[in-house]
Each structure stands twice: as C-alpha cells, then as structure tokens.
A and B are shown apart, each in its own frame.
Chain A
Amino acid sequence: EPEVTQTPSHQVTQMGQEVILRCVPISNHLYFYWYRQILGQKVEFLVSFYNNEISEKSEIFDDQFSVERPDGSNFTLKIRSTKLEDSAMYFCARRGTVRGNEQFFGPGTRLTVL
C-alpha cells in the first residue's frame, strides 16, 4: 500500500515559534489523521480530517493547533506557539479506503522545541 510522505523529517524550533508540518499523499486520498508520539510513549491521536474538514479531534488538539489542505494536495499541521512539551514525533496517516478502517502511517517528523 502506498503511504504518505512527510516533510521535514526533523524540525528544530525555539519555544514560542510557529511550525508547519507537511504530509504529502501519494495519490488523491480524502481521509487523513495526525498523531503524535512523545519519546518512549504511546501514539496519541490529534485530529482526523475528511474532505477538507475536521472530522474529530482530541483534547490535545487545542487552539494552538490547526490543520488544513491549502492546495488540495499537501495536508498541514500548524502549531502556532510551540511549547517544550510539543517536542515529539508527529505522524500523518491516511485511511486505506473511505469505508475501511486501515490507517497507513508516514515516516514522521521529529519536532524538537528548545
């Protein structure tokens, strides 16, 4: 199954700065997810995005976070004012099919907030 690619692979930023993480689908998928994984911990759901709208979001996904698909292709996660605790791996995933439940994860972006 083709997956998604993510850029950058590693992002280092200063606390309080804005970061944009990008997810690039291989083909024209409609259903995307963002998850994060703090080092050594479990993978946590942030948000699901279907047909250019947020479908569901977790408590982690507060006002500092936003998602969009600005050009109909790339799917972005923006963190407006980063905190130290935002340091984590961020994974984009796509749904296998609209009716299926499989999710295929990208390689992730490692975000380091200093």
Chain B
Amino acid sequence: QQQVKQSPQSLIVQKGGISIINCAYENTAFDYFPWYQQFPGKGPALLIAIRPDVSEKKEGRFTISFNKSAKQFSLHIMDSQPGDSATYFCAACLSYGGNQFYFGTGTSLTVIP
C-alpha cells in the first residue's frame, strides 16, 4: 500500500516538446507529493511539490497535475530542453510521523535537439 508506481521507465522527447511523467499511489493518507530531478552521480534535487488540496501547481516550465480521486499525479515539462535530460522521481509521504518519502522507480528523460 506504500508503493508509488511511476511510468514510463524512459522517455525521449524532441527539444521544445512536452514531457509527461505519471505516478500513481495507493495510500490515501499521503499528503505531500514532490518531484525530484537527478543527474548522473548527483543527489536528487527537489523540483516541485504539491499537496492534495490543489489540482495543479506550476513553477516555470514545470507543472504538477494532481487527481485525488484517481490517486494519480503527473509532471509536465513544457518546452523541454536538452538540459532537462535527467532521471525524474516522484515521491509521496505522510507529513506526520517520520516523514519518510516513498519514491517511484524513476523515469529517464532524454531531450534530443
């Protein structure tokens, strides 16, 4: 019940296109949903996060769409750039208690010029 399922495993997008990565969760008590970007050999970097009381959050070219009834959330990267090529992880957590993150399996994004 604590799993977070992420798809696709890999994604290739043309420069300027839209990258879409999807995640689904089971535990309805989760109340914080971040996305992380990871470059090879580096630690995950917080990109954007959302709480279930809103359906969408936008920061620059990055947007999270959240569907509470479907228990799904997605990351949209608008105007994708080669510099966006990285692995993206979604996560979910309970904001009380230990606040451990449950990560998805990751999506390797390649943006081709």
Please list the residues of chain A having a beta carbon within 8 angstroms of any beta carbon in chain B. 3, 31, 33, 35, 41-45, 48, 55-58, 91, 95, 101-108
Q: How far is the CA of A30 from the CA of B85 in the complex (A)?
A: 33
* B100 within 8 Å of A (CB atoms): yes
* B97 within 8 Å of A (CB atoms): yes
Q: How far is the CA of A85 from the CA of B85 in the complex (A)?
A: 29
Task: Report B-chain residues with C-beta under 8 Å of the C-beta of A58.
Answer: 100
Determine whether the beta carbon of B43 is less than 8 Å from that of A44: no
B31 nearest CB neighbor, chain A only? A101
5 A-B pairs (CB sep. < 8 Å): A35-B101, A42-B103, A55-B97, A101-B95, A107-B42
Stretch of B11-19, B44-52, B55-63, B67-75 that contacts chain A: B44-52
Task: Compute the total of residue contacts between A and B using a CB distance below 8 Å.
Answer: 62
Determine whether the beta carbon of B43 is less than 8 Å from that of A108: yes
Task: Report B-chain residues with C-beta under 8 Å of the C-beta of A55.
Answer: 97-99
Q: How far is the CA of A31 from the CA of B99 in the complex (A)?
A: 10
Q: How far is the CA of A43 from the CA of B45 in the complex (A)?
A: 12
Determine whether the beta carbon of A101 is less than 8 Å from that of B99: yes
Nearest first, the 7 A-B pairs at minimum CB distance are: A56-B98, A105-B43, A45-B100, A48-B98, A101-B32, A55-B98, A43-B103
Q: How far is the CA of A107 from the CA of B101 in the complex (A)?
A: 17
Determine whether the beta carbon of B43 is less than 8 Å from that of A95: no
Task: Report A-chain residues with C-beta under 8 Å of the C-beta of B106.
Answer: 41-42
* B93 within 8 Å of A (CB atoms): yes
Q: Mark B83-113, 1 if CB is under 8 A from A, else 0.
A: 0000001010101011111111110000000
Known: A55-B98, A101-B95. A42 touches B104 (CB 8 A): yes
Q: How far is the CA of A108 from the CA of B103 in the complex (A)?
A: 17
Determine whether the beta carbon of B43 is less than 8 Å from that of A91: yes
Q: How far is the CA of A42 from the CA of B99 in the complex (A)?
A: 18
| A102-B46, A108-B43 known, 13 other contacts, Cβ within 8 Å | A3-B43, A41-B105, A41-B106, A43-B89, A43-B91, A43-B103, A55-B97, A55-B99, A91-B44, A101-B93, A101-B95, A103-B101, A107-B43
